[in-house]
Chain A
Amino acid sequence: MFTQLPTNTEGLSFGFKLFRGMQEDNLSYIYRGLFTQTITDSIISLAENNLESTGETSKVRKRVFSIMVECLQNITRHQTVEGEEFNDSSIPGIFMIQRKDDGYFITSGNVVPNIATPKLRSQLEKINSLQQDQLKDYYKQILEDGSISDRGGAGLGLIEMARKSGNKLTFDFAKVNDDISYFYLHTAISKEAEGSSFVPVNLDNIKSIHQLANEEEIVLVFNGVLNQESLINLLSIIEGQMRGRVDIKKKVYNIMVEMLQNIVKHAAKVEDDSIIGNPGIFFISSKNNSYSLCTGNYIQNKKVDELRVKLEHVNSLKGEEIELFYSMRLLNFEIDNSKEAGLGVIDLRMKSGNNLDYSFSKVNDSVSFFTLQVSLQ
């Protein structure tokens, strides 16, 4: 599908790999990093906005919402052990949502101490051995036992996830070192009525995506509907996640707004015209202190040449010329519809201090897929 080789093959080819992987696996969202209250709130809002924008029924929305909440609470709960912060940001957790025709699939991966894994495993095995009505009794029994730790342990959250999803929970562990392991938890949520159950899946693919995300230091991958509301949620997640220099943080924020609003305003819709917003992919990685932001979206074929000319022109500008071109465009209100680049594209070039990498690949007679990558050190 992707025919034209971009100038920066290393970065973009990884992007392509990820895009294709996400398309194949119907992955709509990956977040990797620390899970704070603000970040988890934004992750939930982002998912809610996407479910609404794509016209999902309120019943399914509620189900996905409640399981997401349990799942994210499960991660934040395990960020501390015995009251002590143990999961530092050097071992980030991961959260993913897959959207398929028949349902939604939520997977979390977070670090747990090896000493805690036998208990977790037995809790999950116990939960999976019970039927729906038995789960209710088991839940009550644990409540009455009063054996709940202050972190809400004893697996109440896990029981809730099994109850609300109506499916068995899939889980797996992957040893990181002698002290800790990754704990993967996968929940299937059916779009149909209660009772329809999914066959438990193998989590190897999830594990390899996690590994890839770790290697590339991916912060976030979003594949879904972009509109102003999802943009604000994505910004809030990135703001909450980024550490380090304030000026870099601001630049990343600026670049994100321009890249994502480009999609909101100019991208083409495909297949479904009823969605509120435009389909697009966005990912951000922070390898070796250098940020790389990449977007992918559909564009009408008739607009391709015009955009290509704009990008080529902006990339051809050197030093002072960029600033001059920006100032000229800033105060000219007559040329907004001309073929010259808009302020957004010039701004991306200025803020990043780098050339813009891009490619177009024809999808069919009406649209192409456009990818844009902006890097900054």
Chain B
Amino acid sequence: MESFYLSKTEDTPSIVLDPSKNIFEIAFRSLPEDANGFYEPVLKWLDMFYDNPLPKVVFVFYFEYFNTSSAKQIAKILLYLEKLSHKSEVSILWKYTKNDADMYSTGVRYSRSLSLNFEFLPV
């Protein structure tokens, strides 16, 4: 399956979805004007990945900041991963800058609402 790479901009994150290297990561800032539109290709990609997944997936989120409309899209991505966890061994690595209490509790909020294996890592 083809990998998905996107470089970060001032208002959108960097995205790596690469099954050949087993790297899945979304990082930096996310405050696009149209979060729905921005994350749509990611959700489409995950949809396809579901049909032919890897046995083990570690999905990394390492956000510096995201706005509330991105929060909603990230929730969608996590729901996809929850679905995938019935087929593959999925875990979420929630990285955050040390002392960023807000980003930590944002991750905790997701982990409480979903049945997914979350690991928290201050960097």
* A263 to B27 alpha-carbon distance, docked (Å): 26
Closest to B9 in A: A232
* Alpha-carbon distance A323/B109, docked complex (angstroms): 9
Nearest chain B residue, comparing its CB with the CB of A233: B10
- Interface segment among B44-52, B53-61, B65-73, B83-91: the answer is B65-73
B113 at the interface (CB under 8 A from A): yes
Known contacts: A258-B67, A261-B67, A330-B72. The answer to whether A247 contacts B33 by CB under 8 A is: no
Given A250-B102, A261-B33, A330-B75 contact (CB < 8 Å): yes
Residues of A within 8 A of B (CB): 227-228, 232, 236, 246-247, 250-251, 253-254, 257-258, 261, 264-265, 323, 326-327, 330-331, 333, 342-344, 346-347, 351
By a CB distance below 8 angstroms, the chain B residues around A327 are 109, 112-113
* Contact A333–B99 (Cβ < 8 Å): no
Contact (Cβ within 8 A) B99 A246: yes
* Contacting pair B72 A232 (CB below 8 A): no
* Shortest distance from the beta carbon of A225 to any chain B beta carbon, whole Å: 14
Q: How large is the interface on B (under 10, 10 to 19, 20 to 34, 35 or more residues)?
A: 20 to 34
Given A228-B11, A347-B68, A331:B113 Cβ within 8 A: yes
> What residues of chain B lie closer than 8 Å to A326, measured between beta carbons?
109
Residues in B with CB closer than 8 Å to A330 are: 71-72, 75, 109-110, 113
CA distance A251 to B72 in the complex (A): 19
A-contacting residues of B (Cβ < 8 Å)? Answer: 10-11, 31-33, 65, 67-69, 71-72, 75-76, 79, 99-102, 109-110, 112-114
A-B contact pairs, 16 of them (CB 8 A): A236-B10, A246-B99, A247-B101, A250-B65, A254-B65, A254-B67, A258-B68, A261-B69, A264-B33, A327-B112, A330-B75, A330-B110, A331-B113, A333-B72, A333-B76, A342-B68
Q: Please, which residues of chain A bring their CB within 8 A of the CB of B72?
A: 330, 333, 343
**Which chain A residues border B79 with CB–CB below 8 Å?**
331
Contacting residues, chain A, for B75 (C-beta < 8 A): 330-331
What is the CB-to-nearest-CB distance from B10 to chain A, in angstroms, rounded to a whole number? 5
| Chain B residues touching A, majority SS | helix
- Pairwise interchain contact A247-B10, C-beta atoms closer than 8 A: no
Q: Which residues of B contact A228 (CB under 8 A)?
A: 11, 32-33
Q: How far is the CB of A344 from chain B (nearest CB, A)?
A: 5
Tally of contacts, chain A with chain B, CB under 8 A: 59
Cα distance, A333 to B43, chains bound together (Å): 14
Q: Which of B67, B99, B102, B113 contacts A257 (CB 8 A)?
A: B67
Having A247-B100, A253-B65, A331-B114, one finds 13 other A-B pairs with CB under 8 Å, namely A247-B102, A251-B102, A254-B65, A257-B67, A258-B67, A261-B67, A265-B33, A327-B112, A330-B71, A330-B109, A343-B71, A344-B68, A344-B69
State A228–B38 Cα separation when bound (angstroms). Answer: 14
Please give, as numbers and ranges, the residues of chain B lying within 8 Å of A253 by CB-CB distance: 65
Residues of A within 8 A of B65 (CB): 250, 253-254, 257
Contact B99 A247 (CB under 8 A): yes
Set of chain B residues within 8 Å of A258, measured between Cβ atoms: 67-68
Chain B residues whose CB sits within 8 angstroms of the CB of A257 once the complex forms: 31, 65, 67
CB-CB under 8 A from A261, the residues of chain B are: 31, 33, 67, 69
* A212 CA / B102 CA spacing, docked (Å): 34
A345 to B71, CA, bound (A): 13
Residue ID in chain B nearest A348 by CB atoms: B68
Q: Chain B residue with minimal CB distance to A246?
A: B99
* Cα A293 to Cα B117 with chains together (Å): 38
Assembled-state Cα–Cα distance A246/B99 (Å): 9
Complex contact A250–B67 (CB within 8 A): no
Please give, as numbers and ranges, the residues of chain B lying within 8 Å of A232 by CB-CB distance: 10-11
Inter-chain contact B31/A250, CB cutoff 8 Å? no
Please, which residue of chain A has its CB at the minimum distance from the CB of B79? A331
Nearest-neighbor residue (CB-CB) of A347 within chain B: B68
Query: Which residues does chain A contribute within 8 Å of B76, judged by CB atoms?
Result: 333
In the complex, what residues of A have CB within 8 A of residue B113's CB?
A: 327, 330-331
Measured in the bound complex, the distance between the Cα atoms of B67 and A347 in whole Å is 9
Chain B residues, Cβ within 8 Å of A265: 33
Which residues from A are CB-within-8-Å of B11? 228, 232
Q: Could you tell me the distance between the alpha carbons of A250 and B10 in the complex, rounded to whole angstroms?
A: 16
Interface centre among B33, B68, B69, B75 (most CB of A within 10 A): B68
